[in-house]
Amino acid sequence: MTVLPRTPVVRVLLLALAGLAACAAVLALTTSARSSRHAAPAPKVRRGAAVVPAPRPHRAAVHKPPAAPAEHADPEEAQSFPSAARARHHAAAPLPADTHPSPGARTDAEVRQELAELHDVLHRERTVHTVSVAAGQAQAPPGAPDVVAAVVAGGNAIANFPYVFGGGHASFVDSAYDCSGSVSYALAAGGLLDRPLTSGELEHWGAPGPGKWITVYANAGHTFMYVGGLRFDTSGRDGPLGSRWQTAPRSLAGFVVRHFPGL
């Protein structure tokens, strides 16, 4: 092989090429260092340690409307002379007349004012007006508020209907009613609610405490009410088609006490 003599010009060219090669190497190392600085560090996994999955992107929570409380089994069902759901031979009750306010109906404020005036009159006269019962049908006394008379009429409409658990919950129109279905029907007849409520829902109906005319007692499994001192209850009747209106007292322990404001 022939070796060319290295003249001064050749040596200068070789030195220039070597300098360019060194600059290129330095530039490559700088670029690599910058890339590694911004890259996410690799997770260090210890031998035998569990692998932690990467966090998933956050998703907005989906808010669902709360479901209505389920109707619990009535602990006093055995005292209500229950009928089998498939053995409903009773005609269906009509829709309560005052489920929805009629056009031109008095406002709540007007009703409360009239009830307050009536209460003052009754207090001055010191007379006690109570709802009476005869042949299983209740009767509101003279001077009772129209709402109370309507609730009494609604109770009379289903007083002798069979007891079936869940009866009167899908609709006010039914051929049998359980405890809360019965109370709901009578209250709806007076325009005090617009859909059937479970006994658990009746724990929060109206306002706390006893009322002057209507007092509802409710817990998660059973409910009944007193209207003008007369008990309306599916428990304690004298037979399968006995009246829900009863004069015998019962224990009030374990029940939430509610009333409609002004009543």
- b/e for 28-67, b at 16 or more Cβ within 10 A? eeeeeeeeeeeeeeeeeeeeeeeeeeeeeeeeeeeeeeee
SS3 for the chain is: CCCCCCCHHHHHHHHHHHHHHHHHHHHHHHHHHHHHHHCCCCCCCCCCCCCCCCCCCCCCCCCCCCCCCCCCCCCCHHHHCECCCCCCCCCCCCCCCCCCCCCCCCCHHHHHHHHHHHHHHHHHHCCCCCCEEECCEEECCCCCCHHHHHHHHHHHHCCCCCECCCCCCCCCCCCCCCHHHHHHHHHHHCCCCCCCCCHHHHCCCCEECCCCCEEEEECCCCEEEEECCEEECCCCCCCCCCCCEECCCCCCCCCEEEECCCC
pLDDT-based confidence at residue 94 (cuts at 50, 70, 90):
confident
> What φ, ψ does residue 260 adopt, rounded to 5°?
-85, 130
* pTM more than 0.85: no
- Predicted confidence (pLDDT) per residue in 183-239, tens digit: 999 999 999 999 999 999 999 999 999 999 999 999 999 999 999 999 999 999 999
Query: What local confidence, expressed as pLDDT, does residue 52 receive?
Result: 52
Alpha-carbon distance 62 to 125, whole Å?
59
**pLDDT 10s digits, 23-35:** 666 566 656 555 5
| Residues β-bridged to residue 134 | 137
pLDDT exceeds 70 at position 51: no
CB contact at 8 A, 174 and 167: yes
C-alpha–C-alpha distance, residues 182 and 158, integer Å:
7
Least confident of 2-11, 118-127, 224-233: 118-127
Q: For 125-140, write each residue's pLDDT tens digit.
A: 444 458 999 999 999 9
Q: Sorting pLDDT into bands at 50, 70 and 90, what band is 108?
A: confident
Predicted confidence at residue 78, as pLDDT, reads 82
- Whether residue 10 has pLDDT greater than 70: no
pLDDT at 82: 85
Residue 65 or 171, more confident:
171
Q: What is the architecture of the domain spanning 114-259? A: Alpha-Beta Complex (3.90)
